[in-house]
Every structure is written in C-alpha cells, then in structure tokens.
Amino acid sequence: MPTDWLAPRSTRRVLQERNLFDVENLVLRLYALLPRQLETRSSESEKEAGWKTEVYHQIGDRRSLGQELLGHLHDRQAAAVREFCELYGYEPLDPPLRLCLTSRFTCGLPQPTVLENGMTLLRPWGIPMVPASAVKGTVASWLAAVLAGSLRLKASERDRQLERTGLLPLFGTVSAPGLVEFFDALPERLGGESGLRVDGTTVHYRSWYTEKTPGPPDGCENPVPIPFLTVEEGTCFVFIVAVHKKVRVLSLGNLEGSGNQLLLDGDAVERLREFDIEVGSNTSVIEFVRAALRSTGCYHGFGSQVRKGYGRMVEPVSRVGAHSEGERAPSPPGGVPAPGGATGGSRRRRRRNRR
C-alpha cells in the first residue's frame, strides 16, 4: 500500500488532489513530510511489525535521482570550481576522479528524522553526496593511519603524524588554511533501479542500553530492526579537488618547503606505497592527492559504517582496463588489511619485487 503523507491543509490546497506519495524530492520525503502511519500507530507492537521499514522502502523505491538533474548539478559545480580556481590561484584535478561503489554507501545517519535515521543530502535537490568536509577528513585520517600503522588515532595524533611526515600543510591547521581545497562529491551514474536501497541495523540488547533492566543482557530479548537508506552499489561519485599553485611538487627530503615544493619525509614513502600511493622524487601534489583519494576509497571507504564494509569505492574498470563503461567496478582486494596488520608476508614480497 503506497504511503500517504500528512501535510497542513493549506499545503494540500496548493497541491489540490495530488497524492503526496508522488513527491520525489528526497529532502521532503525524509525530513519534511510525516507518513500517515503515525496517525494510526497505536502500540509498540505495531512499530515492531515493520511499518518504518515499509515507509523507508517506499521512499527508496522512488527514483528521486534523475540523470538530467545530476548532469545539471555537475555542470553547475564545474563552473563554480573553475571560477574559484581563477580567483584564488588554484589548479583543479583534471579530469576529476570518478570512484564507483563496490558496496552500499550511507552518510549522515545521526541526522534526526521522523523515521529515526537520516542521510546527508544536497539541499534543496535531495541528492545523496559525500560532503567536502567528510572527503577532507577521511583522506587526512587514512593517510595518518597508514603512516602510523594504526587505525584508531585521535585527532591530535593524526595531526602529529601528518606534521611529522610533511603532509599537514595540505590539509591545514586552525591557524593556517590547507593547500588543497576539497569539494562535495556528487553521484554521476546510479546503480540499481532507483539508486537507493533500504538496509538495517539491529539492536539486540535494547533494555540494557536504555537501563530498563537491572542485570546484564541475557540474549533473550526480541531485537527490533532499525532501517536506514543507502546508496546502491555501482553508483559512481565524482571527486573534485584543487591545489594551490604555490605548491606543485612533493619532493623527498626534510620537512621544510622550498619555492613551489613541499618536502616529504622519505621514511613515509614506503608505508604509503603499501597502500598504492606512489611518491617519486618529484611527484606533483595534484597526482598525490588523486592517489590518496583512490587509496582511501579502496581500502577505507567514505561515509558512515565504513568499519562494516560500507562506502568502498574504486575507479571504473574502463579507466584502467579494456572493459566497457557499463560493467560493474571491481571489488577491493579481498581481506583488505588495516595498517600495521598481519600482512608482513605480502609486504615483503612486494618489497622484493620492487628491488
């Protein structure tokens, strides 16, 4: 049964007899409109019956990500990036990096909605995206994790690792802006029929979490699935960055810059190469950032729930092989290791091959 939505009488007069189920804008459907089931739900058991999941499915089944709209938004963003680079002396990544999902993607789950879990959307169009701040923070965290050999770094430890190896100027500090400007990553090509799919997480010990039971969890509770929206596997995102023209080259050496060079700690090069970030004697900063984005998408992922395998992305195979554009992007390497993990054998073999 299609979901109808509650709305003020004045809104319904404007829409006349049109059923609000026909509204395709994801911002309205997820954050503004109330499902009519809220009127008739009278008990907790009805919640457990899955009415939320049904509403999420009907939200996700609507094709709200039209290709014409996506094309317009990409053209608009490209024009804005060109103007920004001309005004402030930046060089854009050309062509932009396209990464396609090999798993589902979600971002902004904590954003509250009537249905509990939200999603980060480009407003007012309702397009799922990876915000610029998330792209920047994820890439910086991944580089620091690779350099430190540990995934769970505090923010202060992350900055120390980047500073020690000479990469902190790329991302900036509280007192100094970064030399790399990151932009929102928008979807270009959709996977699946609607581009969206419903997934769920299950809270097994609800009474324990809410302190309704005095003792520890005993595993006898009836879990209640909590649905949320994800972007379908196969969807491609376009990542755009720009690098300030005053620093164009990464060189091996000390931690002090000279001219238009940013000197990188030589000890960090080997660790970066383990995760497909190649750095030579004179590597352009823009290509280093491209490699860092590619490595982050493949080994770490973007968005929420990355430790559970969400948000993994790789370049389309048409860019690196002889496959057609329509084929699904390859999966990341099986059993992708965490930095510092038990992968010594494979790493030693790679070192021997390079020698």
Residue 48, number of CB atoms within 10 A of its CB: 13
Phi, psi of 214 (to 5 degrees): -75, -30
Delimit the domains of the chain by residue range: 11-335
- What percent of the chain has a predicted confidence (pLDDT) above 70? 68
The chain-wide mean pLDDT, for the chain, equals 77
CB proximity list for 301: less than 8 A, separation 6 or greater? 103, 309, 310, 311, 312, 313
Amino acid 64: pLDDT? 55
**What is the predicted pLDDT for the residue at 318?**
59
What average pLDDT does this structure show over 4-30?
Answer: 69
Q: Place 267 in a pLDDT band, splitting at 50, 70 and 90.
A: confident
Question: Cβ contacts of residue 143 below 8 Å, gap of 6+?
Answer: 161, 162, 167, 272, 277, 292, 296
The residue-averaged pLDDT of 262-273 equals 76
Indicate if the pLDDT at residue 47 is higher than 60. Answer: no
Once rounded to an integer, what is the mean pLDDT over residues 158-181? Answer: 88
Mean pLDDT over 80-108 rounds to 94
Query: Do residues 229 and 91 touch, judged by C-beta distance below 8 A?
Result: no
Model confidence, pTM = 0.79
Report which secondary-structure segment, H or E, holds 168: helix 168-171
For residue 202, the SS3 value is: strand
Going by pLDDT thresholds of 50, 70 and 90, the confidence category of residue 231 is very high
**Tokens 């009537």 correspond to what residue?**
114
Confidence (pLDDT) at 329: 44
pLDDT tier for residue 90 given thresholds of 50, 70 and 90: very high
User: For 22, which DSSP code?
Assistant: G
Q: Would you place residue 251 in the very low, low, confident or very high pLDDT band (cuts 50, 70, 90)? A: low
